[in-house]
Chain A
Amino acid sequence: DTEVTQTPKHLVMGMTNKKSLKCEQHMGHRAMYWYKQKAKKPPELMFVYSYEKLSINESVPSRFSPECPNSSLLNLHLHALQPEDSALYLCASSLDSGTDTQYFGPGTRLTVL
């Protein structure tokens, strides 16, 4: 099973809302990733967790707050977002970070009003 699941599929939120995106994998992978993808653009790395510890933060604004409660679960907490944060948010996982193949979830389509 090479499945990464993400919930919700779609999310609409106002600029004052607090919401969370969830990502889950049961492949025993120890690295998990958040990417942001704007329309007609490639995915851009936001965060990397390795063995449940944050290893890379690509200077993402603090209104995005990642959390890795356990090795199977990755959350992205959203607060006070801006309309320009509207995008497809992709989660991925790999056996370990580095050269291992990353498996992507279907993404959460976020719209900020």
Chain B
Amino acid sequence: AQSVTQPDIHITVSEGASLELRCNYSYGATPYLFWYVQSPGQGLQLLLKYFSGDTLVQGIKGFEAEFKRSQSSFNLRKPSVHWSDAAEYFCAVETGRRALTFGSGTRLQVQP
């Protein structure tokens, strides 16, 4: 069965520091992968997506992610974190059933 794993439940970084959020997937075919961000009590906003082609994907708000087939990973990165980046981040995979399966999420806290 398809699944998405986000190993880090909670991450704290200092403002201005770099960030990497991990995402691993289990899927037999070429996956369609997404990163969403959710502020408390809000809906989800798409940061970026990977369907095919260049494995380094640029998104909004200065985020990027790299697809590594050999490691079944799609990690999210940002070179310099801002206090406004504090939120919950979800990795998701399109399962072939025309729906998304989400990872359990990583809560990002940003220290001043």
Are A and B subunits of one complex? yes
A-B interface contact total, Cβ < 8 Å: 55
1/0 contact string of A6-17 vs chain B (CB within 8 Å) = 100000000000
Range, interface on chain A:
20 to 34
| A31 on interface, CB distance cutoff 8 Å | yes
Range, interface on chain B:
20 to 34
User: Which B residues are in CB contact (< 8 Å) with A99?
Assistant: 32, 51, 94
User: Which B residues are in CB contact (< 8 Å) with A72?
Assistant: none
Within the complex, which residue of B90, B97, B102, B105 is in contact with A56, where a contact is CB–CB below 8 Å? B97
Within the complex, which residue of A56, A98, A106 is in contact with B43, where a contact is CB–CB below 8 Å? A106
CB <8 Å contact, A97 and B99: yes
Q: Please, how many angstroms separate the alpha-carbon atoms of A6 and B42 in the complex?
A: 11
- Among residues 15 to 70 in chain A, which have CB atoms less than 8 Å away from a CB atom of chain B? 31, 33, 40-45, 48, 50, 55-56
Q: Please, how many angstroms separate the alpha-carbon atoms of A55 and B99 in the complex?
A: 10
Interface residues of B (CB under 8 A from A): 32, 34, 36, 41-46, 49, 51, 90, 94, 97-105
Interface residues of A (CB under 8 A from B): 4, 6, 31, 33, 40-45, 48, 50, 55-56, 88, 90, 92, 97-99, 101-107, 109
